[in-house]
Structure 1
Amino acid sequence: MTIALPARPDWSQLIKSGSRVFVGGNAGVPYALIDDLIEHSKGFSDIELVHMLALGDTRWAKEEYRERFKVNTFFIHGEEVRRAIDEGRADYTPVFLSEMSSLFSDGTLPLDAALVSVSPPDEFGYCSLGVSVDICMSAVRQARVVVAQINPQMPRTAGHSFIHISEITACIEADEPLQQITLPPIDSVAERIGQYVAMLVEDGSTLQFGVGKIPSATLKYLQRHKDLGIHSEMLSDSIIDIIASGAITNRKKTFHPGKIVTSFCIGSERLYQFVHNNPHIEFYPSSYVNKPSNIAKNDKMVTINSALEVDLTGQVVADSLGYDFYSGIGGQVDFVSGASMSKGGKPIIALPSTAKDESISRIVPCITEGAGVVTSRGNVHYIVTEYGIASLRGKSIRERALELIRVAHPKFRAKLLEEVRKHYWVPHFQQKYPTDIAELGAIQLQKIVIQGETFYMRPLNPADERRLQEFFYSHTKETLRLRYNYDPKQMSREKSCNLVSVDQNTDVALCIVRQEGSRITIHAVGRFYYNQHDNSCEAAFVTRETQQGKGMASRLLTKLIDIARMRNIHRMVAFCRADNKPMIAIFEHHGFKRLFSDDPSEVELALPLQEDNAANATEQDKQRDH
């Protein structure tokens, strides 16, 4: 069957001066069609070109066309568009991606024409919007006329991506490569962020992510997960490898099970070939994909978005650098809201802790003057940097500030604490800022599985103040007596603050926690105090009663011994009540020897940590035996 194509565009019959014209964006910009418009629009003026992110040479925004065209973009991208906005020749309209199409349908931004790129029609006359369904489908449905560039290089994608040739008013045929981007190499910062984000993702989760180093790193570390799904406004090349790994099955999705759901893709020719005629990937309009209530239909919805800066209350700036608008709202709020409503959902904001060669902190006391909040402090659950995971949901302003200072770059932590103390967000007795344990390496969080349950071992930090209080009050009188050698009645806020505010460069305090969403419970604490006068340290630990006998104390002690050895500490000592036989047994199991004591109610134990000390101790034991 031969399908007759519409005539070439006669622009004088399709639009006029002052018209509002939609231009298809992302990787599907119809450049040959735009060139045809530019060539035949010399008599026009004040045509408003509306679009979202547009890859490639956005030539219509050049200074030479300022009388002919005015850009109104929903997302700032590209040198010419950015310059036009900076010079006041173009406009940026902030709007949620889920609501962009409603601007066309409700008459807020009525469209005279829509310029889109489509695949050649099939035998029944259906063309596909291919890699850019997003708001293009909505524009096609609402515009008075539709002008298409029929491009043989446009993939045919499944889902709601098709328009019939009869819906197209005019067209040109132009064989033109799609706009491509190359993923930047994953650097060490993105690598660490990706590892932390991956720790938050459970098997069976459904994912949303963008393009860039951090999403690429995250997907790399998810390749050993099981039964993941994808419901994401966009796809990039990163999905190909994780699909090949078998981690993406979509079988556990509770909305569109068995299918990857998206609205557009940006990447290389490899990606465009991957989505071509792929029945497992379905493209839908952004009004559907980004609708928060639809997103929330996926249980365990995990959304990963970025930010330019985050203040210490959790406000997220994502579209502006001070007074300079940088990008757009996009789908961040849509997916943060959807994941917040999802059963077991986790909205995550992931960003490097610094910018401009570590000269600027992205974790700030207050947002930069002129900058705008995209995601409010009430929406944020997790902030992730290369220094860890800050869990904010349900946290007070004081707790949020301490959590965020912990994941800031170490060289900015003291200043951040000083700034928030001015506003009484943290109490006067909060003197120390969080420090890392260098011996744990780049990743300060270690996932451990004990009798089938998942826990995490990490440094104790100032944000754990309330959690340590809860841990203390969970103990029985017997546990407190065995640990402290008396029966303490109270763990005041100030006392708890002192115990969690540890200079980890000198002393060490570790904890084992269970994290279920934003709920964090301490189950064991182990620490050593450094004694400078003889280069020794004193170790102690305590375990929640329900976890005793499961090896938590042994794991903590093993790690403490490793850290002490790496610090070249000569020996580790411990003091236990004589009737605390389980604790004594743990120390002895790790090689500690009992020392002579005048007090029969107390047992002192010691472990030489360096080889020469161990040899000397052995020799002394032999001499005593003789």
Structure 2
Amino acid sequence: MLSCPKTAAEVQWRDLLKSGCRIFIGSNAAVPNALVADLIEHSRGLHDIEVTHILTLSDNVWATPRFRDKFKVNSLFIGGANVREAIAEGRADYTPCFLSEIPRMFSDHTLPLDAALVMVSPPDEFGYCSLGVSVDVVSAAVRYARKVVAQVNPRMPRTNGHSFVHIQQIDAWLEAAEELPELEPPELDQVTEQIGQYVSLLIGNGATLQLGIGKIPDAVLRYLGNHRDLGIHSEMISDGIIDLVKSGVVNNRKKTFHRGKAVATFCMGTRRLYDFVDGNPHVEFYPAEHVNSPTKIARNDKMVSINGAIEVDLTGQVVSDSIGSRFYSGIGGQVDFIRGAALSRGGKPVIALPSTTKDGARSRIVTTLTPGGGVVTSRGHVHYVVTEYGIASLHGKTIRERALELIRIAHPKFRRALLDEVRQLYWVPEYQEQAPTSVPELGPVESKTFTFDGIEYTLRPLRPADERRLQEFFYTHNKETLLMRYNHHVTQMSREKSCSLVSVDQRRDLALCFTDREGQAEVIQGVGRYYYNPADNSCEVAFVIKESRRGKGIASALLKEMEAIARARGIERMVACVRRDNRPMLAVFDNCGFVTTPGAEMDEVLLTLDLRDAINPATK
């Protein structure tokens, strides 16, 4: 091992520090605990040292009341009980900032550093140590601090990328072996599993991923086993990517920036993860100002950013760093990646959170934010919000549409109250009375994918936020279609009428639609619905398909799905009234096994399907 002129054990800390100075402590799983302990033991007489850092996976002893005269914490991202409690009690401070901008705060002397206390691997034969599992803002702290003191830990992995520090950049060091702190993969509950499944639907083959911290990102990774050619450009990576890399799901081949490499700025997990990144040429670590730069993030096509939240209001404002007025975590890289993904070609910024607090007592989808709660991600940044009840698409939506989309993915027991509250704010009109409901018979994600004539379609329930889409669908119809569907010449689909057609109690009646994509816009191409008649336990069914999409099988698929749902609900009979001259629609019903009888009107035919029979072979 190459030697350094001085070791920390030989240096009087007074030669490096003085009372009132500011020091930086290494991040995440690379906290130099032995170095901090040595400072505490050998720094008698020093006091009022400002300690600044981001998340630290440590006992954070410097933030305990015992050392309040020696250290004053200024946290740039809150993590760990001692730091959180110190801030809540007023013994410490929190500085909100984007992770990508922290290095500049060091370089331009917004937060000048007198010393950086960091952990590194032993130097190689050329004198280079690696910052290992935490390059993030540590790299900038090493570059801009007046003094650099390192804990040389043989258990620190040597990671590739821009992670190296030469011993000539280090003013003093302490050799101390120390196991890195480990984060075991979390046990996933049903709610988290469902959120992960929904988020995975937003990830296409060839996408590049950023995943935040916590159970939800791990749940997402577990549902990507059937994806192909995924890439990683993420602030953090965890154990979840290992098996995806080994199976070839994550191969970084389709990335358009740092092609062929998984890129991160730090990692936290088990020893398995630390061994995985040790010397791995396929994983590279870069400083936060590079990895978290929104413009660099955007250079990845199909960039999907997945981050959590504490609370989201009905306009799309996201609270992520505080619970009311109590600061809990920090801004970190959320806004960096949300903005970068939004700028990416085909990118998707995603906020994912459970619909309620852990005890189920409060909705985390709220009409107005909890007093004191701070907006981290603005309503203008948000594209998708996901809970265990579905995906709300907010990009390009009005406040009214956003509110209805977010109510739809709130916990069912809070939807009525949310709708009543938001109506008082005039964000939705007085005639919007039906709170969103679900169609669980469509499966756990309430949608199915079909391909007709080479075009991929999504079958899903009609939703209150589809009011404008249904109007657009109506105005594509020609006069013949309107006559065949409504039996008279309808010339207008008012906002009130459209609202009534999309605001359906799906527990009783049913309204489904087939949609596809035109650019980033979702477009309705077909609608089917039935109305339940409790008098004889039957339902009356009708559907309409856009003229340009007929003859491709959409109508038959729609009718078969409605029949399956009616059977699952124990309905005994499906009926339909169709004009005699509407031969294409009559053919669809005939192919699905409906029996024709004369209608009440001379120009109508009544069609019936007895659902008490065995499953209709035509609908299998």
Q: Same fold, TM exceeding 0.5?
A: yes
Q: Distance in 2 between matches of 1:464 and 1:219?
A: 31
Alpha-carbon offset, residue 516 of structure 1:
5.7
| 2:129 paired residue number | 127
Which whole-Å deviations, capped at 9, do the CAs of 1:269-291 have from their partners, x for residues lacking one?
00000000000111000011001
Give the residue type in structure 1 aligned to 2:163: S
| Alpha-carbon distance, 1:563 to partner | 1.1
Q: Distance in 2 between matches of 1:110 and 1:225?
A: 45
Question: 2:345 maps to what in 1?
Answer: 343
State the match for 2:301 in structure 1: 299
Contact 1:595/1:603, CA 8 A, preserved across alignment: yes
Contact 1:119 1:130 in 2 (8 A): yes
How far apart are 1:301 and its partner, in Å? 0.9
Partner of 1:556: 558
1:425-574 equivalence runs, <5 A: 425-515=427-517, 518-574=520-576
Amino acid at match of 2:2: I
Q: Which residue of 2 aligns with 1:314?
A: 316
Deviations 1:433-457 (A, max 9, x none): 1001232343212222223322211
Asked if structure 1 preserves the Cα contact closer than 8 Å seen for 2:355 and 2:410, the reply is: yes
Deviation, 1:596, is 3.0
Distance in 2 between the 1:224 and 1:327 partners?
Answer: 33
Deviations 1:246-292 (A, max 9, x none): 21121111111111111000000000000000001110000110011
8 Å CA contact retained: 2:441, 2:565: yes
Give, in angstroms, the shift of residue 582 of structure 1: 1.3
- Residues 158, 278 of structure 1: 8 Å contact kept: yes
Q: Structure 1 residues 204 and 516 mapped into 2: Cα distance closer, same or farther (>3 Å)?
A: farther
CA offset at residue 245 of structure 1? Answer: 2.6
Structure 1-normalised TM-score? 0.96
How far apart are the structure 1 equivalents of 2:600 and 2:72? 89
Please state how far the C-alpha of 1:518 moved relative to its aligned partner.
4.7
In 2, the alpha carbon distance for the partners of 1:379 and 1:516 equals 22
Note the C-alpha offset of 1:218: 1.2
SS at match of 2:226: coil
CA offsets 1:471-527 (integer angstroms, 9 cap, x no match): 000111111111111220000000000000101111011111124675111111111
Amino acid at match of 2:324: G
Structure 2 residue 228 is the aligned partner of structure 1 residue 221: no
Matched letter for residue 107 of structure 1: H
User: Which residue does the alignment assign to 1:267?
Assistant: 269
SS in 2 for 1:339: helix
1:119 CA displacement: 0.4
CA contact (8 A) 2:151 2:176 kept: yes
Question: Residue 41 of structure 1 aligns with which residue?
Answer: 43
Residue 174 of structure 2 is aligned to residue 175 of structure 1: no
Separation (CA, whole Å) in 2 of partners of 1:488 and 1:72: 66
Equivalent residue for 1:623? none
- Output the CA distance in 1 between the equivalents of 2:517 and 2:424: 32
Return closer, same or farther for 1:612/1:382 CA change in 2, 3 Å cut-off. Answer: closer
Give the distance between the partners of 2:592 and 2:230, measured in 1 at CA: 41
What letter matches 2:499 in structure 1? Answer: C
Give yes or no for the alignment of 1:97 onto 2:99: yes
Name the amino acid aligned to 1:365. T
Q: 1 CA distance for matches of 2:269 and 2:205?
A: 27
Whether the 8 Å contact between 1:393 and 1:518 is mirrored in structure 2 is: no
Contact persistence 1:223–1:246 (CA under 8 A): no
The match for 2:188 is 186
Indicate the residue corresponding to 2:86 in structure 1.
84
Match of 1:356 in 2: 358
Write out per-residue CA displacement over residues 193-227 of structure 1, whole angstroms, 9 at most, x where no aligned residue. Answer: 11211111121111100232211121122221121
1:126 Cα offset (Å): 0.4
Tell which deviates more after alignment, 555-564 or 142-151. Answer: 555-564
Counterpart for residue 4 of structure 1: 3
Match of 2:119 in 1: 117
Q: Which of residues 379, 387, 392 is equivalent to 1:390?
A: 392
- 1:61-85, Cα deviation, whole Å (9 max, x unpaired): 1101000001111111111111111
- Is the contact made by 2:121 and 2:153 (CA closer than 8 Å) also made in structure 1? yes
**Aligned 8 A contact 1:312 1:405 in 2:** yes
> 1:239 matched to which residue of 2?
241
**Distance in 2 between the 1:585 and 1:560 partners?**
17
Structure 1 gaps of 5+ residues are: 615-626
Q: Cα gap change, 1:379/1:517 in structure 2, threshold over 3 Å: closer, same or farther?
A: farther
Quote the Cα distance in structure 1 between the aligned partners of 2:380 and 2:200. 23
SS in 1 for 2:316: coil
In structure 1, the residue corresponding to 2:375 is in which secondary structure? coil
> Letter of the aligned partner of 1:449 in structure 2?
T
Note the residue ranges of structure 2 that are not aligned, 5 or more in a row: none
After superposition, give the CA deviation of every residue in 1:302-360 in whole Å (9 maximum; x if it has no partner). Answer: 10011100000000000000010000000000001111111111111011111132211
Does the 8 Å contact 2:598/2:604 carry over to 1?
A: no
Displacement of 1:567 in angstroms is 1.4
Are the structure 2 counterparts of residues 534 and 195 from structure 1 closer, same or farther at C-alpha, using a change threshold of 3 Å? same
1:183 and 1:212 in contact (8 A); partners too: no
Counterparts of 1:486 and 1:220, CA distance in 2: 52
Whole-Å Cα distance in 1 between the matches of residues 61 and 452 of structure 2? 59
- The number of residue pairs the alignment matches comes to 613
Paired letter, 1:114: A
2:319–2:376 contact (8 Å) kept in structure 1: yes
Please name the residue that 1:54 is paired with. 56
| TM-score normalised by length of structure 2 | 0.97
Aligned match of 2:138: 136
Q: 1:287 aligns with which of 283, 286, 289?
A: 289
1:147-183: per-residue Cα shift (whole Å, max 9, x none)? 0000000000000000001111000111100011112
2-side partners of 1:613 and 1:169: how far apart? 79
Give SS of 1:175's match: coil
SS of 1:360 mapped into structure 2: coil
Partner of 2:251: 249
- Where 1:378 maps in the other structure, the secondary structure is coil
Provide the rounded CA distance (Å) in 2 between the counterparts of 1:318 and 1:507: 38
Match of 1:378 among 380, 384, 391: 380
AA at the equivalent of 1:318? S
Alignment match of 2:411 (pick from 409, 413, 424): 409
User: What is the rounded CA distance, in whole Å, between the counterparts of 2:449 and 2:93 in structure 1?
Assistant: 48
Judged with a 3 Å threshold, the aligned counterparts in structure 2 of structure 1 residues 197 and 516 are, in CA distance, closer, same or farther, namely farther
What is the identity, as a one-letter code, of the residue corresponding to 2:256?
T
Contact 2:322 2:373 in 1 (8 A): yes
CA distance in 2, matches of 1:287, 1:421: 44
Distance 1:114 1:517, change over 3 A: farther
Q: 1:365 aligns with which of 364, 367, 378?
A: 367
* Residue of structure 1 equivalent to 2:335: 333
User: Alpha-carbon deviations, 1:521-546, whole Å to 9, x = none?
Assistant: 11111111001111110011111112
Q: Quick check: 2:577–2:599 contact (8 Å CA) kept in 1?
A: no
Greater displacement, 437-446 / 566-575: 437-446
Give the counterpart of 2:202 among 200, 203, 212: 200
Which residue in 2 is equivalent to 1:581?
A: 583
